[in-house]
């Protein structure tokens, strides 16, 4: 074969120049045969012979050999090492010209050749881009879209594949295709050719690539992609095919408009059916499908409109089915059920309805099953749901009397930051304006000591922030001397002082209000800690700093007045010349700040 191949290549060099069609055709047939037998070896020989450069001159529209030349290029470009040589041999420009041919076989082989050259090749893509190949292919897809004979479907599949290889994992080329309007065309293709497995698959892979790009979402939302994908999904039996559609649905469902379209197209019913079918299976594929379906379900509930549509006033079939996941024995379903409830609990009306209908008990039962060596993701999800449910004022007392704080406190020993974070948030929501509950928690030494420990969790800013906020909330909502004493004894004061310097105004404010209550109710107990935490110096800095928000200046001055009852702190105030800073604030544009500055100035003058 090697000798034959060498002879063929020599002969081809001569006939390529003479352009004798018959003998040229014979040489090309020999090359195709050799490529079919051993593609890599033959491709190496073709490269060594320098024949690639000659192919450029053979790619002419009127020749009967053109399709075969394009076919040979498509075959050799299956090898990675041949793609750049094809570009260097100047083959891209004549190939792109051939895309204007009327001959179906020429179009097919040209599409294959360009697609293979572009596969994972920056040089190939760049050359096709410069030659304007993508636009011509998209125009073909548009004009041939409605023809359903097998030969045309094969050509459409090759063209889709070419565009995919051209743009795969390349954001700028994907954006270019989107701007050329490829998305509506592909969606139309999917609708018309849904019986053709190869073409459908190609469209799905293309969608999967393009859907990752944020700019594609709006274009997708203006088509009937949701309807087409759900229609296609309902027909699928094989796991791999469903998986392929899931891979397109997940990125698309990040868009709120598409979420709603998918819900209206009936995707949720499909997902619920999968869950029902697969819930008891221990086959790997079924477990994977159950996870994907329940995850997607949760994702659809992240959109406000899609979520409200599925809630249906708490009477909806979907809501009821999701509720039934929580007591199930399947961890994945427990997780999805709790996350779904957290997503339904995004407005007061839904939260109130759910609490009145016993959801809290279901979530507490779920948490109970995960106290000892529990599943962290389930713990996190159930706590998230409880935190959201505790936001409406009317729910707080109901949840407290249902025993939510006791259920949540069981996780105080957790070493997992996500669980710690949600636990803290849930407790903070529950005690908001609930004096009795705040006092009860604030006197819980174990809780307060854990909070003080977490206030130092420098590696977990969220946990640290929430611990500080809960410490402050315990004081602000209980206004209890006992709570303050517990916090002082546990070493919490320094953290509240540090919190007053937070970059978040809301946290600064919460700290200052809590510190003012400490100064008003238990100054004697706390003064040593306030002094060693350098509170007076921090307040001076906050008042002198022009960037401090008006409410920060106001509460800092209230606190200064409250600190005058302590001899050592009073002395620090005098030493730092607060009068200068405060008197300047009398002309502050905020009336409350200006008034408080006058009062503080008087107090400082009298006390000095």
Q: Alpha helix (H) ranges present in 404-549?
A: 404-409, 417-431, 435-442, 445-454, 461-478, 481-489, 493-499, 505-532, 535-544
Distance (Å, whole) CA 99 – CA 128: 12
pLDDT in tens, 387-420: 999 999 999 999 999 999 999 999 999 999 999 9
Distance (Å, whole) CA 510 – CA 514: 6
Q: Is 315's pLDDT higher than 90?
A: no
Distance (Å, whole) CA 401 – CA 390: 12
- In this prediction, residue 1 has a pLDDT band, given cuts at 50, 70 and 90, of very low
Q: Is 585's pLDDT higher than 70?
A: yes
pLDDT for res 17: 61
CA angle 99, 103, 106 (to 5 degrees): 60
Q: What's this model's pTM, rounded to 2 decimal places? A: 0.82
CATH of 132-252, one of 1.25.10.10, 3.40.640.10, 3.40.50.300, 3.30.70.890: 1.25.10.10
Q: Average pLDDT, stretch 342-355?
A: 95
* Helix (H) or strand (E) run with residue 46 in it: helix 39-49
Distance (Å, whole) CA 587 – CA 594: 6
pLDDT in tens, 161-199: 999 999 998 999 999 999 999 999 999 999 999 899 999
Domains of the chain by residue range: 1-131, 132-252
Distance (Å, whole) CA 156 – CA 150: 10
Q: Is 16's pLDDT higher than 70?
A: no
Question: Hey, do 1-131 and 132-252 end up sharing a CATH topology, with the first three levels equal?
Answer: yes
pLDDT for res 240: 86
Q: Average pLDDT, stretch 544-571?
A: 92
pLDDT for res 22: 66
pLDDT for res 57: 87
- φ, ψ dihedrals at 607, nearest 5°: -80, -20
pLDDT in tens, 83-111: 999 999 999 999 999 999 999 999 999 99
- In this prediction, residue 241 has a pLDDT band, given cuts at 50, 70 and 90, of confident
Fold of 1-131: 1.25.10
* Mean pLDDT taken over the chain: 92
pLDDT in tens, 246-274: 999 999 999 999 999 999 999 999 999 99
Q: Is 607's pLDDT higher than 80?
A: no
Q: Which residues contact 168 (CB under 8 A, 6 or more apart)?
A: 120, 209
Q: 368-377, 380-389, 454-463 — which one is most confidently predicted on average? A: 380-389
Distance (Å, whole) CA 326 – CA 335: 8
Q: Average pLDDT, stretch 491-509?
A: 95
- In this prediction, residue 215 has a pLDDT band, given cuts at 50, 70 and 90, of confident
pLDDT for res 236: 85
Pull the structure tokens for residue 39. 């593609």
pLDDT for res 576: 86
pLDDT in tens, 33-60: 999 999 999 999 988 888 888 898 889 8
């Amino acid at each position: 074969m090697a000798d034959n191949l060498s002879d063929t290549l020599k002969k081809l060099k001569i006939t390529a120049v003479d352009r004798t069609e018959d003998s040229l055709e014979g040489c090309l047939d020999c090359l195709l045969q050799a490529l079919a037998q051993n593609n890599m070896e033959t491709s190496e020989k073709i490269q060594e012979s320098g024949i690639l450069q000659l192919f450029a001159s053979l790619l002419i529209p009127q020749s009967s050999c053109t399709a075969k030349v394009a076919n040979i290029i498509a075959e050799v470009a299956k090898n990675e090492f041949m793609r750049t040589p094809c570009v260097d041999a100047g083959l891209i420009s004549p190939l792109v010209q051939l895309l204007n041919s009327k001959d179906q076989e020429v179009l097919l082989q040209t599409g294959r050749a360009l697609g293979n050259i572009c596969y994972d090749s920056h040089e190939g893509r760049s050359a096709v881009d410069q030659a304007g190949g993508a636009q011509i292919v998209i125009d073909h897809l548009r004009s041939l879209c409605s023809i359903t004979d097998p030969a045309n479907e094969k050509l459409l599949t090759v063209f889709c594949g070419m565009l995919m290889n051209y743009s795969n994992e390349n954001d700028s080329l994907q954006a270019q295709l989107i701007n050329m309007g490829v998305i509506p065309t592909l969606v139309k293709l999917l609708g018309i050719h849904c019986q053709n497995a190869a073409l459908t698959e190609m469209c799905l892979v293309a969608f999967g690539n393009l859907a990752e790009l944020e700019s594609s979402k709006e274009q997708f939302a203006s088509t009937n992609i949701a309807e087409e994908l759900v229609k296609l999904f309902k027909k699928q039996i094989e796991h791999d095919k469903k998986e392929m559609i899931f891979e397109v649905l997940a990125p698309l469902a990040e868009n709120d408009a598409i979420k709603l379209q998918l819900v209206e197209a009936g995707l949720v019913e499909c997902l619920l059916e999968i869950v029902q079918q697969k819930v008891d299976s221990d086959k790997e594929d079924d477990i994977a499908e159950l996870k994907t379906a329940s995850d997607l379900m949760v994702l659809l509930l992240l959109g406000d409109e899609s979520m409200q549509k599925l809630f249906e006033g708490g009477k909806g079939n979907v809501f009821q089915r999701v509720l039934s996941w929580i007591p199930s024995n399947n961890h994945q379903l427990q997780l999805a059920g709790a996350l779904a409830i957290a997503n339904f609990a995004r407005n007061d009306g839904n939260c109130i309805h759910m609490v009145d209908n016993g959801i809290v008990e279901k979530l507490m039962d779920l948490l109970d099953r995960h106290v000892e060596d529990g599943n962290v993701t389930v713990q996190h999800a159930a706590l998230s749901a409880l935190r959201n449910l505790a936001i409406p004022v009317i729910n707080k007392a109901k949840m407290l009397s249902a025993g939510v704080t006791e259920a949540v406190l069981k996780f105080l020993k957790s070493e997992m930051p996500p669980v710690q974070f949600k636990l803290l948030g849930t407790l903070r929501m529950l005690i908001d304006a609930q004096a009795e509950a705040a006092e009860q928690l604030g006197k819980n030494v174990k809780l307060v000591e854990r909070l003080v420990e977490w206030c130092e969790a420098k590696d977990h800013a969220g946990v640290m922030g929430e611990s500080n906020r809960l410490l402050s909330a315990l004081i602000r909502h209980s206004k209890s001397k006992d709570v303050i004493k517990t916090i002082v004894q546990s070493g919490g004061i320094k953290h509240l002082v540090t919190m007053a310097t937070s970059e978040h105004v809301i946290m600064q404010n919460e700290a200052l209000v809590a510190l003012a209550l400490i100064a008003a109710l238990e100054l004697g107990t706390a003064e040593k800690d306030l002094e060693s935490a350098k509170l007076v110096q921090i307040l001076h800095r906050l008042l002198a700093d022009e960037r401090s928000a008006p409410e920060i200046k106001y509460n800092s001055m209230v606190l200064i007045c409250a600190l005058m009852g302590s001899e050592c702190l009073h002395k620090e105030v005098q030493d730092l010349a607060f009068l200068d800073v405060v008197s300047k604030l009398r002309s502050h544009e905020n009336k409350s700040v200006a008034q408080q500055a006058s009062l503080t100035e008087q107090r400082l003058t009298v006390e000095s």
